[in-house]
Structure 1
Amino acid sequence: MKAALLEQLGSLTVREVADPEVGPYGALCQMLYGATCTGTDLHLIEGRVDWAITAAPTIIGHESIGRVIDVGNKVRNLKVGDMVTRVGAPPAADGSYSSTWGGFAELGVACDHWAMKEDGVAEDQWSGATVNQIIPAEFDPRACTMMTTWRETLSYITRMGLATGNRVLILGSGGVGLAFAAHAANLGAVRVAMCGSAARKEVAKRAGVTDFYDYKADGVGWIIASMCPEGFDIVIDAVGSQETIDLALFNVMQGGSVGIYGIDEMGKTTVDPDKARAEFTEFDGGYDEAETHERVVGFMQTGKLDAGIWLDLDTTYPLDEINAAFDAVRNRQCVKALVKLSDG
């Protein structure tokens, strides 16, 4: 099969690798589509983070959809024809390459973690596979590439305690920031403000943003504060720079919550309470994709989550042209790009 491997910084190499080996609880999948992730994929390609890479060369990608084409003899909850989220290619059996989620490949493996749990298999052998969830058959697999982002961010903002009537401020207008905004609107926030790139203002409004601020505006922190002097119940930094963290602290209300989700300057920033105008809680409760899968499915079925806000569903890049997909994201031609992984 073909796969996109990170072998050296700056770009991916698409080449032939061994077909995956499937164990008794595994389901071999033909990979359909994958979406680019600016936050993780581009950071990895450009060498801006190394915490996620196991060992280069490595197959990257974590927003891919696969269709089951064969199952192991202990699989009970997945069947041929099922579409599954977060499928990826495993590392090479001979150790010649690793897998950093492995989503950009022609074939991948899903795991029947339900059966493994029922059979008493040690939790550390299946807990990481709970991201593999079954998708309704009528769903468009192109749109379903958004489910990773949607599930992560819905879990995160729900755990932060978002309640109907809250005021929410999102820092960053990329795919993740837009997802947080959409969830805030869907969950009943009375005000959804965003500070981001002026070029994203209209798409942000489509996602549910009520107030948009250009991050390049002079004194943008004071501008936001003047428009919402009482502060925001929930502030999420979807960028993760020192500048955006300080901006988050300056605009959180008394007793509010700040979440730092972005990774732009991970390990190089500090949260200084003196930068805040009120007492606040720093959220560190993480997220769990599996816990929000069914809720995301419901939002998709009712039209409350529209992949067309993030993706041009009619424009796809073949796996061989995956670097062009990332170039389109770098050049801000799109929020996220779709990669067609196989001819399935």
Structure 2
Amino acid sequence: MPYMKAIIAIGEGQVKIADDIPMPILGDYEALCKVHACGFCNGTDLQIIDGTLVNGFGGFPTVLGHEGAGEIVALGKRVRHIHIGDRYIHPNLHPNVGNGYSKTHGSMAQYGIINDDRSMLEDGFNAENLPFPRQHKFPSSIDYIDAGVLLSLAECHSAVVNFGVKPEMDILIYGAGPMGIALAMFCGFAGAHVTQIDGVSERLAYAKKVAKVEHTINFNEESVDSILNGICFDMVIDAVGLTTIIYEASNRLKPGGKVGSLGVLKKDDRLVNTALLKNNTSIHMLNFPYGEYAIMDKTIRLITDGTIQPEDFYSHIMPYTEIDKAIGLVRGKKVLKIILTFDD
């Protein structure tokens, strides 16, 4: 049996490069994707490593990654709508990877699987039974490195739609990581006025540059209460993932306002005490994206027409063999986002 290399989490806080991952065996409707790059998700991937993710966790040892980008190099015998050389994001692996490994979600491997959903539907399969419904083709005008942030951008784009951001809304965003900045950018595209809070001055300056954020607050250097001085917002979004932020966000809302929960809550911080929320407010939970693939083509068009520059949303490109260094940089908030490359 041929093997490939992959980044796996083997236990809480432990990651290694494994070289005994069985190469995917293609089903009739599956195509083999050679992974060239994969974004490291500061939220989900780190939570998987730390053992704090609940939804979708396959169990240790598990192959990481959901932001992979690669090209099709082989086809199953019933594949009709995928072609050699096509580029796709989110190559996946079968749940039972083999050799005792699971996958969550398996894009940080040298090869992955793309499913020909269209052919399966044409041949009478139920849409609910498609094995990998969260995948998408991207054009050759977008390189593999840039495609490593394509999913994150589409997730933030869809979040703005799902949260119901409207022109002239006053919005406060907690968190100026790659997702927070992308979220602020799409809020701006929707015509909203954005204030952003973070504890890293460089990230706040970057939010002003890239997302054209109107106001920023550094909670490590300024009193948020003093700066806002009673100002309330139509919507406050937690892009960090803490219930304490949800409570604080609620108390910064106008009557009838909405708290958007976008950051992924950890498994020991998932209960929201509604008694701590301001009266006449709503909470919209979006810890896991919804509709990001439905809006993917529109997100891609914003890139291809030059409205969005993908390189604005990552700061480092590193080989997958330096995963330990990459994780250290993420933990220390020394990077915006890292794209890992898989070309030996």
TM-score (norm 2): 0.90
**After superposition, what is the alpha-carbon deviation per residue over 1:43-98, rounded to whole angstroms, capped at 9, x for unaligned?**
11122334432122110111110100011122222111011011123344546111
Structure 1: state its 5+ residue gaps.
none
Pairing 1:159–2:133 present: no
Of 250-259 and 146-155, deviating more is 250-259
Number of residues paired by the alignment?
A: 335
How many angstroms apart in 2 are the aligned matches of 1:246 and 1:217? 22
Q: Alignment identity in percent?
A: 26
- Please give the secondary structure, in 2, of the residue aligned with 1:68: strand
**After superposition, what is the alpha-carbon deviation per residue over 1:241-264, rounded to whole angstroms, capped at 9, x for unaligned?**
132112210122222221111124
Quote the residue 1:213 is aligned against: 217
| Aligned alpha-carbon RMSD (Å) | 2.0
Aligned 8 A contact 1:38 1:329 in 2: yes
Alignment of structure 1 residues 28-107 onto 2, 5 Å: 28-92=32-96, 94=98, 96-107=100-111
Aligned 8 A contact 2:173 2:238 in 1: yes
- Counterpart pick for 1:182 among 185, 190, 201: 185
Quote the residue 1:22 is aligned against: 26
1:30: Cα distance to partner?
0.4
Q: Structure 2 counterpart of 1:340, which letter?
A: T
1:274: Cα distance to partner?
5.0
Pairing 1:192–2:194 present: yes
**After superposition, what is the alpha-carbon deviation per residue over 1:143-183, rounded to whole angstroms, capped at 9, x for unaligned?**
11111111112112201111122222111111211121111
Of 24-33 and 234-243, deviating more is 234-243
Alignment of structure 1 residues 130-169 onto 2, 5 Å: 130-169=133-172
Q: Structure 2 counterpart of 1:272, which letter?
A: T
1:307: Cα distance to partner?
2.1
How many angstroms apart in 1 are the aligned matches of 2:299 and 2:17? 32
Q: Structure 2 counterpart of 1:174, which letter?
A: G
Q: 1:99 to 1:14 in 2, by over 3 A?
A: same
Q: Structure 2 counterpart of 1:58, which letter?
A: T
Q: 1:264 to 1:225 in 2, by over 3 A?
A: farther
Of 114-123 and 32-41, deviating more is 114-123
- Counterpart pick for 1:120 among 114, 117, 124: 124
How many angstroms apart in 2 are the aligned matches of 1:292 and 1:130? 14
1:117: Cα distance to partner?
2.4
Quote the residue 1:325 is aligned against: 326
Q: Structure 2 counterpart of 1:246, which letter?
A: Y
Aligned 8 A contact 1:325 1:338 in 2: no
Quote the residue 2:259 is aligned against: 258
Q: 1:271 to 1:236 in 2, by over 3 A?
A: farther
